[in-house]
Structure 1
Amino acid sequence: MEPILEVRKLTMDFGGLRALDHVDLDIRQGEIVALIGPNGAGKTTFFNCVTGIYAPTAGDILISPRGKTRKERINGLKPNRVTEKGMARTFQNIRLFQNMTVLENVMIGRHCRTRSGIAGAVFRSPQTRREEQDAVDASYEILKKIGLAHCVNEFAKNLPYGAQRRLEIARAMATNPFLILLDEPAAGMNPQETKVLDELILKIRDEEKISLLLIEHDMKLVMSLSDRIFVMDYGKKIAQGTPEEIKSNPAVIKAYLGEDIDA
């Protein structure tokens, strides 16, 4: 099966510092892939290059979304254009609009799929009104799927921490992506919240047919969810494979997981 995302020899330099050094990674349709490594390994820099926040120094970022056979190079695209192409992401630190409602936060994710411009917003054309209603309906359906439909009119800041994390994922889902990149989605969660997140990630993959790439330090979550794992250290990819292969890889054990692996 052809990859839906293929990253070749991705390199990112910040002055004299090489944060990414010829990193290769690929994701196929229907996969949950994890990117792990110690703090400072370059994982978030990798996400930032793939999603357009940074323009990489060298390498290729190629996408073939949802069955398209022709690969498209997206190096240098702005983040909004990357989102329009079908890749959405969350961040390490929650970036919700805290003083907007839960529903409004998800509706913002629909913006990249609307057509009405400034004139439509000013004159309230029928197309604009239809798009707004479609955004409301689609956002509410997403909230039902992730278990937040009961608090559509709550301000985002009033949600419990775990629910805020799920709301960020809901906003990413609203962009209609073929791939969601999750940057440490379980950070700060208690065991019950992590369990709900685990179930949600599987639901997104199995029911919504969206592939996922996640950075995560919770090794039990990574090992239970991932089809494949890529491991980075000091800006380089040092290993890739199934969870079983990664758990027994000496380079990974030395770099990150420690001598005893209980997952």
Structure 2
Amino acid sequence: MAANEHGGKLLEVSGLTMDFGGLRAIDDVGLDIFAGEIVALIGPNGAGKTTFFNCVTGIYEPTLGEVRIHPPGGASRRINGMKPNRITALGMARTFQNIRLFPAMTVLENVMIGRHCRTSTSIVDAILGSRKAAREEQECVEKSYQLLKKVGLAEVAGEFSRNLAYGAQRRLEIARALATDPFLLLLDEPAAGMNPQETHELDALITRIRDEEKVAILLIEHDMKLVMNISDRIYVMEYGKKIAQGTPQEIKENPKVIEAYLGEEAHA
């Protein structure tokens, strides 16, 4: 689907530039995401993809450029320099390349932590065990359990997260990000370390999240089969610059992209 066949614009990044000392890691990169889209950001190792994510989600403040979100039904706002937890509360959630679960907590508790930015119970309510606190806790448990069902982990809700297989830990991270009720979900290498069967299940899960939860998705991914299968549009970076954007078919046939990836394959 072309971008204009989707809903309104959700994320607008323009002129994004990030310098670390004398090194320019990202150079004048722009990107838009519309409601209902799955968009992939690809490129050889060291292209600047994770740095781009870190700038968009508040981990780094970009040197130049603008990151703007347009929450559905809410006011458009510039989020450069905002703290990551504030950005999450505004409706943009992410997962990380290196899994960041709480290993000594259960699978269900890991998802419940994601719900905390959506609860309004005060510490006083919690200490006094007010009716409001009890109701919110119950809603939190129910919502978290529903998300575990969605990602196929309901049967292991009481297990410690460290005991899960690698692919299941990745799905748990996605469930925890969804628990924040995002309108936009950023996935950093979700298929990393997965076997072909797990990748195939992830492919179906990401599409289902977009369709059922009405969440737009931006993903960084090295698995080209997954990218080509599920993306509406693809942006390609190399050496911190955007070198191409388009549909999977356009990207597959783009000489600049072929050249960038042939170089990587030669070193693989």
TM superposition score category, shorter chain reference = over 0.9
Of 82-91 and 111-120, more deviation after overlay is shown by 111-120
SS in structure 2 at match of 1:107: helix
- Output the CA distance in 2 between the equivalents of 1:140 and 1:133: 11
The answer to whether the aligner puts 1:49 opposite 2:55 as a matched pair is yes
Question: Is the 1:84–1:113 Cα contact (8 Å) retained in structure 2?
Answer: yes
After TM superposition, the structure 1 = structure 2 runs for residues 160-179 of structure 1, keeping only pairs within 5 Å, are: 160-179=165-184
1:111 to 112, 116, 136: 116
Indicate if the aligned counterparts of 1:253 and 1:259 stay in contact, CA closer than 8 A: no
Match of 1:9 among 3, 10, 15: 15
When residues 209 and 235 of structure 1 are mapped into structure 2, their CA distance, relative to the original with a 3 A threshold, is: same
State the identity as a percent.
Answer: 71
Aligned match for 2:148, one of 139, 143, 150: 143
Answer yes or no: is the 8 Å Cα contact 2:44–2:264 preserved in 1.
Answer: no
- TM-score normalised to structure 2 length: 0.94
Structure 1 distance, partners of 2:137, 2:110, is 14
Aligned to 1:239: 244
Tell me what 2:214 maps to: 209
- 3-state SS of 1:129 partner: helix
Structure 1: which 5+ residue stretches go unaligned? none
TM-score, with normalisation over the residues of structure 1?
A: 0.96
Equivalent residue for 2:77? 72
Change in 2 beyond 3 A, CA 1:206/1:55: same
1:36 and 2:52 are equivalent in the alignment: no
2-structure distance, mates of 1:256, 1:6: 27
Query: What CA distance in whole angstroms lies between the structure 2 residues aligned with 1:225 and 1:258?
Result: 25
Q: Secondary structure at the match of 2:72?
A: helix
Shift in Å at residue 118 of structure 1? 2.0
Q: Could you report, residue by residue, the CA deviation over 1:51-86 in whole angstroms, capped at 9, with x for unpaired residues?
A: 000011111111112244x42111111000000000
Q: CA deviation at 1:216?
A: 0.3
Q: Which runs of 4+ in 1 moved over 3 A?
A: 257-260
Distance across 1 between alignment mates of 2:112 and 2:71: 23
Distance 1:67 1:19 in 2: 34
